[in-house]
Homo-oligomer: A and B are copies of this chain.
Amino acid sequence: MPEQPRSSLDPIFQPKAVAIIGASATATKIGGRPIAFLQTAEFEGSIYPVNPNYADVQGLPAFPTVSAIGAPVDLAIVAVPAAQVLASLEDAARAGVKASIIFSSGFAEVGPQGEALQRSITQLSHASGMRIIGPNCLGVMSGADRLYATFSPIISDGAAPHGHISIVSQSGAFGAYCYAMARERGLGVCRWVTTGNEADVDIGECLDWLVGDPVTKVVVMYMEGCRDGDKLVRALKKAQAARKPVIIVKVGRTEVGAAAAASHTAALAGADHVYDAVFRQFGAFRAQSIEEAFDLAYAITVAGLPRGPRLGMLTVSGGAGVLMADVAAELGLEVPEMPQAAQARIRDRIAFAGTRNPVDITGQSGSDPELMPLAYELMLGDARYDSLVVFLSAAGLSRGAPGLVGMAARMRAKYPDRIIVMSSLFPPHLRAELDAAGVIAFEDPNRAVRTLAALTWIGERHASPAPSHAADRVVVIPAQAMTEPEAFDLLRAQGLPMASCRLAKTPDEAAAAADAFGYPVVLKIVSPDIQHKTEIGGVILGLTSAAAVREGYATLRRNVATRRPDAQVQGVMVAPQLSGGVECILGVQRDPVFGPVVLVGLGGVFAEAMRDVVLRLAPVDVAQARQMISELKGHTILAGWRGSAAADVEALAQALAALSDVAVAAGDQIESIDINPVLVRPAGEGVVALDALVIARRTPSSLQDEPPKAPSPAVEHV
């Protein structure tokens, strides 16, 4: 009985028998390359060239079809023109092939005809259970299993060393470039997969497999977008739980970039800032460049992740110490001062050293061989820093360099739970020694600290993964447009701190409500047909007497009758006009890829223009809501700025978590909820929501006419 695969992607990364459909006798042609690569790499499984025109190909017996092979095939590589792909796949599926990789292009990337062809491939995959990578991809390399199922010429120049970095890329050329960069830097790679048009298997599923792969220690992922947010989130959660770092280069950050992406990929992209929020939420690090991604992958495979955020800096140059301190402060690393006794011990040896942190042992370290080991011991042993960055100027090239490298290696061995980064210039053989000892090396001190900050961030996110949090109730959202009083009622019933309000149907009712609330009050027209009330004169502020309210009621009705005679009017909403406190925004928006996203932001025109908002996928509990608020650029204002009292952040966090519960309980019924503003009162005095807009999700048929709306805090409000 054959071994049961743990995943349907096993045959892609670890096949025992591979067929090449469209096999070529020429080792440099697309259908010839994988055969040559597999033979050169001494692939241990069977290789079956498939080509009806040859009896043998590159020294191997060839078969006219996959069915004709007569032996089990795990993986078929398809290298025939687009028009022949479907027939080849059907043959492969009939023969019981478990997975295919389609090199061929001419599918969704070339327009409607290609899209139709690609849909047939997807259907075949779903119907047969045969998993498919591509089409329009450069294939898969799985060096740990000697599998080179690719036609990328990059492998002709040599394979990357065996190691623990896996690369998954939606772009073939970019993937090839990443592979070459890793190889040129001497970084060890284990798996490499380019997903192309993703007719079946997508990057989320590839990531999921790589997270489960014991050889992979870190995944570098290049993506433009994804269609299945659930799959991606599942894989990211799994990575976080397994403490397996994921480094993502996601392009399309800017509008210019997104426009370029749209012309390049057929992927349906969610809004970029939602991706950003998802990555943060599940502890995947978003690198700004592929260079940064490999800096991290290198550091993680050499040394792992720091146990905490406390950074020590040891330097032979005061200037470099200041430079590193600047970067550490900017990136939010903790740089606690050395214990006084430890500082005194360094001053005993060198009176004018910097001893707080950075510890600057100056050029003196050259003439006093005890100085540096003492500093290491005091910083790792006494100060117990979680990470230590050591700037050695150019000493890594000096005659004393082997001694310095040996010292770092001994310290790492003695304190194996601490990360040590050396910043200096080193020759290759010393770099290799540092690698072997688990010590990271970067030439540039800025880059050293930057990398440590990223490792620390990942380590912290892995230490406290987001709890899963199921909704225990259901909220029903009416399909028709909700008026503001209805929205207030709905949200109040779910525990949100809505301001008082009353729906008045006559001037007298309005005046009575105002008398009950006390003055001033605000009046707003209530109509399911009018969402932007201000524009048609549907709002009156600052009314200070019953007479003014009666007059205001009449004015509102008149304005609507004139400007929106079609609108059905239910009456006028009366509410006390509140002020005081910090204005914030709470919201929910359904993302087309990831589902409901909650957001919190600071209010006011400047904060909105600066887009000071933090997003997360729902659900969000109170602790996570607190975390979100702390990530606002203007959180200092809530904390009490320029002598003003601290705002009730706790009540705001509770309101945000309650809104998240509504989003989860309402599921797919909601397009968006905006609560803007929420007044956050001084600590202990709570929050109060002054305005709410709930928009039910449009039906799928109406969705086809309009593109899905991107989340935005800048919705029109009274």
Which of B252, B289, B354 is the one whose CB lies under 8 Å from A446?
Answer: B289
Which of B110, B445, B604 is the one whose CB lies under 8 Å from A351?
Answer: B110
In the complex, what residues of B have CB within 8 A of residue A288's CB? 327, 446
Q: Min CB distance, A455 to chain B, in Å?
A: 18
21 contacts between A and B (CB under 8 A): A110-B351, A153-B398, A157-B397, A173-B319, A174-B323, A176-B393, A177-B424, A177-B425, A181-B394, A181-B443, A184-B425, A251-B322, A260-B354, A261-B318, A288-B327, A289-B444, A289-B445, A289-B447, A292-B446, A602-B606, A610-B634
Contact with B along A444-485 (1 / 0, CB 8 A): 111100000000000000000000000000000000000000
Taking beta carbons and an 8 Å cutoff, which residues of A are in contact with B? 109-111, 153-154, 157, 169-174, 176-177, 179-181, 184, 222, 224, 249, 251-261, 263-265, 288-292, 316-323, 325-330, 335, 351-352, 354, 356, 358, 360, 362-363, 393-394, 397-398, 424-425, 443-447, 602, 604-610, 612, 633-634, 636-637, 641-642, 714
List 12 extra interface pairs beyond A110-B351, A254-B329, CB under 8 A: A157-B397, A171-B317, A174-B393, A177-B320, A184-B425, A254-B326, A255-B329, A257-B323, A260-B358, A263-B354, A291-B444, A606-B607
Given contacts A173-B363, A181-B425, A633-B610, contact A325 B447 (CB under 8 A): no
In the complex, what residues of B have CB within 8 A of residue A608's CB? 642
Decide: B394 and A176 in contact? CB cutoff 8 A: yes
Q: Which residue of B lies closest to A644 (CB)?
A: B605
Q: Min CB distance, A555 to chain B, in Å?
A: 23
In the complex, what residues of B have CB within 8 A of residue A425's CB? 177, 180-181, 184
In the complex, what residues of B have CB within 8 A of residue A109's CB? 352
In the complex, what residues of B have CB within 8 A of residue A714's CB? 642
Given contacts A174-B393, A289-B444, contact A605 B322 (CB under 8 A): no
Q: How far is the CA of A316 from the CA of B181 in the complex (A)?
A: 16
In the complex, what residues of B have CB within 8 A of residue A179's CB? 394
Interface hub of A173, A181, A316, A358 (most chain B Cβ within 10 A): A173
Interface hub of A256, A291, A351 (most chain B Cβ within 10 A): A256
In the complex, what residues of B have CB within 8 A of residue A360's CB? 263-264
Q: Which residue of B lies closest to A289 (CB)?
A: B446
Q: Min CB distance, A666 to chain B, in Å?
A: 28
Which of B249, B252, B602, B606 is the one whose CB lies under 8 Å from A637?
Answer: B606
- What's the number of copies of this chain in the assembled complex? 2
Decide: A363 and B446 in contact? CB cutoff 8 A: no
Which of B170, B253, B606 is the one whose CB lies under 8 Å from A330?
Answer: B253
Q: Min CB distance, A482 to chain B, in Å?
A: 24
Q: Which residue of B lies closest to A328 (CB)?
A: B256
Q: Min CB distance, A430 to chain B, in Å?
A: 13
In the complex, what residues of B have CB within 8 A of residue A157's CB? 394, 397-398
Q: Min CB distance, A322 to chain B, in Å?
A: 4
The 3 A-B pairs at the shortest CB distance, nearest first, are namely A173-B317, A264-B318, A289-B446
Decide: B174 and A317 in contact? CB cutoff 8 A: yes
Given contacts A264-B360, A637-B609, contact A320 B174 (CB under 8 A): yes
Decide: B176 and A354 in contact? CB cutoff 8 A: no
Q: Which residue of B lies closest to A114 (CB)?
A: B352
Given contacts A177-B393, A180-B425, contact A254 B325 (CB under 8 A): yes
Q: Min CB distance, A693 to chain B, in Å?
A: 16
Q: Min CB distance, A304 to chain B, in Å?
A: 25
Which of B111, B263, B292, B605 is the one whose CB lies under 8 Å from A641?
Answer: B605
In the complex, what residues of B have CB within 8 A of residue A265's CB? 318
Interface hub of A169, A289, A290, A318 (most chain B Cβ within 10 A): A318
In the complex, what residues of B have CB within 8 A of residue A326's CB? 251-254, 256-257
Decide: B356 and A321 in contact? CB cutoff 8 A: no
Given contacts A607-B606, A610-B633, contact A319 B446 (CB under 8 A): no
Decide: B177 and A394 in contact? CB cutoff 8 A: yes
Given contacts A173-B363, A316-B173, contact A354 B323 (CB under 8 A): no
Q: How far is the CA of A321 from the CA of B174 in the complex (A)?
A: 10
Decide: B605 and A173 in contact? CB cutoff 8 A: no
In the complex, what residues of B have CB within 8 A of residue A602's CB? 606
Q: Min CB distance, A427 to chain B, in Å?
A: 10
Q: How far is the CA of A424 from the CA of B157 in the complex (A)?
A: 15
Decide: B634 and A251 in contact? CB cutoff 8 A: no
Q: How far is the CA of A318 from the CA of B253 in the complex (A)?
A: 15
Q: Which residue of B lies closest to A138 (CB)?
A: B363
Q: How far is the CA of A111 from the CA of B352 in the complex (A)?
A: 9
Which of B260, B318, B444 is the one whose CB lies under 8 Å from A290?
Answer: B444
Decide: A256 and B609 in contact? CB cutoff 8 A: no
Decide: B317 and A252 in contact? CB cutoff 8 A: no
